[in-house]
Copies of this chain bind each other. A is one copy, B any other.
Amino acid sequence: MVFAFSAAQLIAIVEPLRVVGATGAAVTGIASLGAAAPGDLSFLGNRKYRAEVAGSRASVLLLPADHEGEPPPGQLWLLVQNPSVGLTRLCRRIEQLLWPKPAPGVHATAVVAADAVLSPEAHVGPLCVVEAGARIGAGVVLQGGVFVGARAVIGADSWLSAHTVVASECVLGARVRLQPGAVIGSDGFGYDTVKGRHEKIPQVGNVVLGDDVEVGANATIDRARFSRTEIGEGTKIDNLVQIGHNCVLGRHCLIVAQVGIAGSTTLGDYVVMGGQSGVGGHLRVGSFCQVGGQSGITRDLPPKSTVTGTYALPLLLEQKFQVLRGRLPELFKRVDQIEAQLGLRPAE
């Protein structure tokens, strides 16, 4: 890593409630309690690891305010309300050191259409393409090898990582982040089968991402057949997720890796979908629903449903099923025995 923080600098960044002990070491790394070596900072993020504090070789520890005891010589304790939040503060500073916002301007190798509208405060990195009529807002970063199609709009302070694609007509709000390889605005999957051939239904709508949306690496969001595929403000989408055409996702949803949502389905606000789960097409998933990993949703879900399994059952029932399904062979044997005793069928 490319940082070195003195104790005084750490205290200025983390703003602890209380400081105990001291270290002369500069902090140049972060590690878990057990893995940390001198020169590392560590933290107690989960109380179940409390016993590991005593043996940690870290030079600096972030601990909850009520943590008892004394640091060994050469170790500094920063006592804070929430060590995880304290760590995030430090990591934000590291992030700025690692990846300072690149200076505005257009790299000499970028290919920008004459009538594209670029904010003078935007950064267009090497080997990017910005097609005709596209608009790039202030503070936007196109990292490198980014493709922005005709008439697409990239909202202020958005960050498009290497090799992302925003296809023609699509609209990104402010502060959108695209991880490498994400594709916004591929064609929806729609065909009319005429005399045994699948004729492509034109997909002439677009994709609209709200403010503060994040889309993961190599995830794909299809453009609408007409009108728009919409992702609400603050929704976060993980790697390799597929969102079909004409879907409408609400605000502040969390869509974990490899989820698939088929076309024309709507999700309310604050929906959480576990990894590898799927939702069929033309369904409605209410706000605050929680869907377990690998689940398959095949009917509408009322708000605040918590479901899991394929096809998804209410969580408690699915858990019972999961316990019992391994006992199904035993159950069959028991029923065989009953039936034999009752003369319903011969014993085996």
Interface set of A (CB-CB < 8 Å, partner B): 1-2, 29-32, 35, 84-85, 87-88, 91-92, 94-95, 98-99, 107, 109, 111, 125-127, 129, 131, 144-145, 147, 149-151, 161-163, 165, 167-169, 177, 179-181, 183, 186-187, 189, 191-192, 196-205, 212, 214, 216-220, 222, 225-227, 234, 236, 238-240, 242, 244, 252, 254, 256-258, 260, 262, 270, 275-276, 278, 280, 293-294, 296, 298, 309-311, 313, 317-318, 320-322, 324-329, 331-332, 334-335, 337-339, 341-342, 344
Beyond A227-B30, A278-B294, A339-B334, whether A258 also contacts B260 by CB under 8 A is yes
Say which residue of B1, B239, B326 sits within 8 Å of A186 (CB atoms): B239
Of listed A144, A180, A191, A225, residue having the most chain B CB within 10 A: A180
CB distance from A37 to the nearest CB of B (A): 11
Q: Is the interface of A mostly helix, strand, loop or mixed?
A: loop
Contact A189 B149 (CB under 8 A): no
Report Cα–Cα, A258/B194, bound state, in Å: 25
Residue pairs across A and B with Cβ atoms less than 8 A apart, 24 shown, are: A31-B227, A88-B192, A91-B225, A91-B226, A107-B111, A111-B127, A111-B144, A127-B145, A129-B144, A145-B163, A147-B163, A186-B216, A189-B257, A198-B236, A198-B252, A218-B218, A240-B242, A242-B275, A257-B260, A258-B260, A258-B278, A262-B293, A278-B293, A313-B326
